[in-house]
Chains A and B, each alone.
Chain A
Amino acid sequence: VNIYVTIVFAYFLAFVLVHTVVLVLAGFELNRHVGRGSETGLRRIVRSPLAPPISVLVPAYNESAGIADSVRSLLALEYPALEIVVVNDGSTDGTLDRLITVFDLRRVERPTPPFLPHAAVRGVYAPRGRLSLLVVDKENGGKADSLNAGINFAAYPLVCAIDADSILEQDALVKTALPFVDDPKRTIATGGMIRVANGCRIERGRVLEARLPRAVLPMFQVVEYLRAFFGARTGWSALNGLLIVSGAFGLFRKDVVIAAGGYRTDIVGEDIELVVRLHRTMRDQRTPYRIVYVPDPVCWTEAPETARVLRLQRRRWHRGSLETLLIHKRMLFNPRYRTVGMLALPSLLLFDVLGPVIELSGYAVATTAWILGALSPETFALFLAVSVLYGLFLTLGAIALEDATFGRHPGWDDLGRVLLFALGENAGYRQLLHLWRLEGFWQLVRKGEWGAMERTGFAGADVVGPEAEVGLP
């Protein structure tokens, strides 16, 4: 028991050290970001002909219900040079027909560019009018495959990968493109804030009023997202150690993504894997680069409302982290990869991947030791208190940062609810997530699972990424 307590204690100290440093860095980074808010020079560039043109890639699988509203809202985004590329991933619910009808599309001849491999293209459609829209109809191959096809057909040097059900705020692209204007040679990818759309008033693909969800599970996810985006991602971005640019909303330099080989189609965590591969490629080539998290452009996404969907999502995320670590294991603790190799990936391994194992085994060992009399109830309670309090400290820190900078939930009742759920997540929700993540781990290690994954499109997929959960050890 003593040995175990020592290991857990050391692990907890490492966790506290890393996460506190990242939170403090996030504070400095947010302060720097807000300090630049008045700089209109860059904003003028982004609204001028010098703005780097962007192709927004919308992979769609059985999205006939919402695809027209999504595309309409994307076409209305504030950005001077923009095209929307919808990739219909072999939908069976009439998604393509809906697009053809609503946007008056006609079939056009387009050669398939050879840059990245993907499933066969069945046809390309463009509007008769002057809308900047292209629809690529292809065989089913999954989200990553669709994104690769979208990258091939994209006409512009920056590509923005989003989910078909993502809702971007009007100026989200302007804000996300700013780092590319500010430092065009080094910036290779940027990502923005993902917020939970459940509970919001949404009409025709636009969020008219931001509200907190009423349901319990999405409320817990609001707390998680706040902690992950304002605490973790902002801090890691300051260190140029950002491991994930969300699959729901990320902007990339097309040439760099193509040079790195595009999205992998044989894994579930294609978004995290691509970003880690970009880090690896740039470091291997010794090319200066940066991958930036921009905290204020907002993408709204619907969080799972049922335990079944949430369970699937978390299993998938955990598997994505593990796959990425396995693929890029050579980067771990390798000083050649600087922050990513020495800090970010080890942190992913120790706290994200092994976190559930350590915490759940901790409960088991502590309970057993308590029953056998090897651990006093006081010690057990104290450890539990420290664990809960530190989790609350991280969450409150992230909420305070959000409140001091953008304050999207100004009402006192909103604050009260967020704090209540931040406290409440320790009483079962977090443990449940850990269990589901362990299932993801089990899925991967099971014989035959690795390398033989069936892809049937990405219906219901909500790829935000494993870092969304910054759990406790």
Chain B
Amino acid sequence: VNVVVAAAAAGLAGGVALIAVTLVAARLVGGLHRRRRIDLRPGIELALGTFLVDEDAEALTPETRAERDVFRAVALEALTELRGAERARLAALLVRLGFADEAIHALGARRRSARRQAAEALALIGGAETVSALREGLTDRDAIVRGTCARGLAENDAAGDIVGTILRALERDAVLAPGGAAAVVLALGGHRPAAVGRLLAPNVGPELRVLAAAVAGELRLSEHAPLLRACVEDDDDDLAARAARGLGLIGDSEAVPQLLEALRDNGRSADVRVASAGALGSIGDVTAVRALEWQLRESGWSLRASAARGLALLGSPGVDALRRALDSKREDVRVQAYVALES
């Protein structure tokens, strides 16, 4: 027993020593890098700032590897904040200094983290030089690289008619990486709003349609209201609820019949009916008063609360309905009506 335990102790002592040495060595090396970055950063920030505000200023040319690393980091951070001509100028500088080429090369690297960073850099730099690399990135084996490239293309004005290609890439990733896909749809909504309509079509997968309905509503893309109305009638409750909320945000009065039908449909999930009640209130069409009043008196807690809030938004007919509810025999109906009136 002693021999076995002694061997274990020796092994553990070795392991502990190894971790301790690695920890100290990594700290020393990391500290050196960090100090070098800290020393370089203010100068590079100042030079880049001067370059951006003064059109006649000469651009800093980073030479050493450390300078290039810090320059890239500062410039990419700035690109996320900048808009318009300043952004275009900085992106052009990065292309001129070879950072775009570096990233295009790194997009073919074996290391996943290198490819992810490269995709992020290319998506931020944008421009015609990055389009073909970003398109290639759509077939990468890593979902994050694919998503970043798709987002970069969606935001890249030089990419031309790229929507079909992005949609094909999105079909798979809406299931595998829904968060990344949502970021792409959000980018499409901001830069190519018409493309969101293509994602709402019935032949598209339900996951993508849900994302598109959310983006269309939140970005108030009223041109897609007809497609959202069709989505309210879809069998998928997630999609119908998202579309109902979106129609409420847009304020689409033509959606009232579909929303009323969804509200009255007992076979629908509570989420769809609550979203429909809220949307009817936001749209402000008084034809919804009777249906909402009925829900206020007869349905479950969440739907009743939503109906009361909706009625409060419908002007005097809604207020009259809430006042009538104050005479209800049920205390919770009276309280909901009172709270809605108070609001």
Q: Do A and B come from one complex?
A: yes
B147 on the A face (CB < 8 A): yes
Residue of B nearest to A114 (CB): B301
Which chain B residues numbered 221 to 235 have a C-beta less than 8 Å away from chain A? none
CB proximity to B under 8 Å, residues A45-85: 45, 48-50
Q: Is B168 interfacial (CB 8 A cutoff)?
A: no
Q: Which of B17-25, B58-66, B250-258, B281-289 is the contact stretch? A: B17-25
Known: A386-B8, A396-B23, A403-B23. A45 touches B335 (CB 8 A): no
Do the beta carbons of A50 and B186 come within 8 Å of each other? yes
Q: By the criterion CB–CB under 8 Å, are A389 and B5 in contact?
A: no
- The answer to whether A393 touches B180, judged by C-beta atoms less than 8 angstroms apart, is no
Chain B positions 299-331 with a Cβ under 8 Å from a chain A Cβ:
301, 305
Given the complex, which residues of B lie within 8 Å of A178, measured CB to CB? 179
Q: Quick check: B179 and A42 within 8 Å, CB to CB?
A: yes
- Chain B min CB distance to A6 (Å): 9
Expressed in whole angstroms, the Cα–Cα distance for A108 and B26 within the complex equals 58
Neighbouring A residues of B27 by C-beta, 8 Å: 403, 412, 415
Nearest Cβ on chain A to B34's Cβ, whole angstroms: 8
A45 to chain B, nearest CB (A): 5
Q: In the complex, what residue of chain A is closest to B147 when comparing beta carbons? A: A41
The answer to whether B116 touches A41, judged by C-beta atoms less than 8 angstroms apart, is: no
Q: Closest CB of chain B to A198's CB: distance in Å?
A: 24
Q: Which of A182, A385, A415 contacts B178 (CB 8 A)?
A: A182
A110 touching B116, Cβ below 8 Å: no
Chain B residues near A386 (CB, 8 Å)?
Answer: 5, 8-9, 12
* A45 with B183: CB separation less than 8 A: yes
Q: How would residues 33 to 49 of chain A score, 1 for a CB under 8 Å from any chain B CB and 0 otherwise?
A: 00110111110110011
Contact B335 A39 (CB under 8 A): no
A382 touches B116 (CB 8 A): no
- Whether A184 and B9, one on each chain, are in contact in the complex, defined by CB atoms closer than 8 angstroms, is no
| Chain A positions within 8 Å of B182 at CB level | 45, 50, 181
- Contact indicator B332/A38 (Cβ below 8 Å): no
Task: For residue B318, give the distance in angstroms from its CB to the closest CB of chain A.
Answer: 18
How does the 8 Å CB contact mask read for A3-29 relative to B, with 1 for contact and 0 for none? 001000100000000000000000000
A194 to B30, CA, bound (A): 25
Which residues of the other chain, B, contact A39 by a CB distance below 8 angstroms?
Answer: 116, 120, 144, 147-148, 180
Contact, CB under 8 Å: B12 / A109: no
Please state if A110 and B12 are interface contacts (CB–CB under 8 Å): no
Collect the chain B residues with CB atoms within 8 Å of residue A415's CB.
23, 27
User: A393 touching B183 by the CB < 8 A rule?
Assistant: no
Counting chain A residues whose Cβ lies within 8 A of the other chain, the interface size class is 35 or more
- Cβ-based interface call for A400 (8 A): yes
User: A38 contacts B116, CB within 8 Å?
Assistant: yes
- In the complex, which of the residues A48, A181, A400 contacts B23, with contact meaning CB atoms closer than 8 Å? A400
Give residues of chain A (245-259) contacting chain B, Cβ–Cβ below 8 Å.
none
Which of B5, B15, B20, B179 has the most chain A CB atoms closer than 10 A to its own CB? B179
Which residue of chain B lies nearest to A44 when distances are taken between CB atoms in the complex?
B183
Residues on the A chain within 8 Å of B34, using CB? 410
- The answer for the CA separation of A393 and B9 in the assembled complex, in Å, is 11
Contact A41 B8 (CB under 8 A): no
Q: Which of B16, B80, B184, B219 has the most CB of A within 10 A?
A: B16
Nearest chain A CB to B95 CB, angstrom units: 20
Contacting residues, chain B, for A333 (C-beta < 8 A): none
Q: Does B157 contact A (CB under 8 A)?
A: no
Q: Is B116 within 8 A of A404, CB to CB?
A: no
- A390 surroundings in chain B (CB, below 8 A): 12
CB of A109 within 8 A of CB of B342, answer yes
Of A41, A185, A385, which contacts B148 at CB under 8 A?
Answer: A41
Q: Is A289 an interface residue (CB 8 A)?
A: no
| CA A392 to CA B113, docked complex, whole Å | 31
Q: Tell me if B13 counts as interface (CB < 8 A to partner A).
A: yes
Q: Is A183 at the interface (CB under 8 A from chain B)?
A: yes
Contacts of A400 in B (CB 8 A): 19, 22-23, 26
How long is the Cα–Cα vector from A50 to B342 in the complex, in angstroms? Answer: 29
CB distance from B113 to the nearest CB of A (A): 5
Chain B residues within 8 Å of A403, by CB: 23, 26-27
Q: Which residues of B contact A284 (CB under 8 A)?
A: none
Q: Is the CB of A36 within 8 A of B23?
A: no
B215 adjacent to A50 (CB under 8 Å): yes
- List B contacts of A132 (CB < 8 A): none
* Contact across chains for A389 and B80 when beta carbons are under 8 A apart: no
Complex contacts, B332 vs chain A, CB 8 Å = 111
A113 touches B2 (CB 8 A): no
Interface residue? B214 (CB, 8 A):
yes
Q: Are A111 and B22 in contact (CB under 8 A)?
A: no
A-B contacts, 24 of them at CB < 8 A, read A36-B116, A38-B117, A39-B144, A39-B148, A41-B180, A42-B180, A49-B218, A50-B182, A50-B215, A110-B339, A111-B305, A113-B305, A182-B180, A183-B179, A184-B178, A376-B2, A385-B9, A386-B9, A386-B12, A389-B12, A393-B19, A404-B26, A407-B30, A410-B34
7 interchain residue pairs of minimum CB distance = A41-B183, A182-B179, A389-B12, A49-B218, A111-B335, A382-B5, A396-B19
Please name 19 further chain A to chain B contacts, defined as beta carbons within 8 Å, in addition to the given A111-B339, A184-B178, sorted by A numbering.
Answer: A38-B120, A39-B148, A39-B180, A41-B151, A41-B184, A42-B183, A45-B186, A49-B218, A50-B218, A109-B335, A184-B179, A382-B2, A386-B5, A390-B12, A393-B19, A396-B16, A396-B20, A397-B19, A400-B22
